[in-house]
Amino acid sequence: MVTLTRNSRDYVDVDFGFTKHPDSYNLTIKKNINAVKQAVINLLLLREGDKPFHPEIKSPIFDSLFELNTAVEKIIIEDEVRKYINTYEPRVYVQSVSVSFDNQNSLSCTVVGQIINLQEPFEVNILVERLR
């Protein structure tokens, strides 16, 4: 277990629902754990070409949809997802990544992590399906 320290910094991001606040009519924001969960989900759903001028930033999940559903491939995907999140989301300490092939056409990825300045863990579930 990693000892994480508490600092006074809050993490704030714009809510990707782009809803307006009922009183101030500004965009709503997400704070701390919800902001970081939203960032991890967004990071895992990035496809090649979504970040202009940064083709290296793409989720390893989508490339793995057409791979064989073996135990070795599952371990490789879990390791790549862990490295990907550690590289591009410095606010998160990844505790575990679990990948399962629900059927021939879908892949489910569960990431359990902890925010660097908070002590509570969070869990993010992503389901990716092939479309025809």
d(CA 27, CA 131): 33
Residues 6+ apart with CB under 8 A from 20: 26, 27, 28
CATH 3.30.420.40 given to domain 12-129:
no
Residue 14, pLDDT above cutoff 80: no
**Distance (Å, whole) CA 67 – CA 6:** 41
Q: Of 13-17, 43-47, 89-93, 95-99, give the lowest mean pLDDT range.
A: 13-17
**CB-side exposure of 81: number of CA atoms within 13 Å?**
31
Domain ranges of the chain: 12-129
pLDDT tens-place string over residues 72-92: 888 999 999 999 999 998 888
Alpha-carbon separation of residue 23 from 30, 34, 91 (angstroms):
16, 21, 31
- Top pLDDT among 7 and 130 is at 130
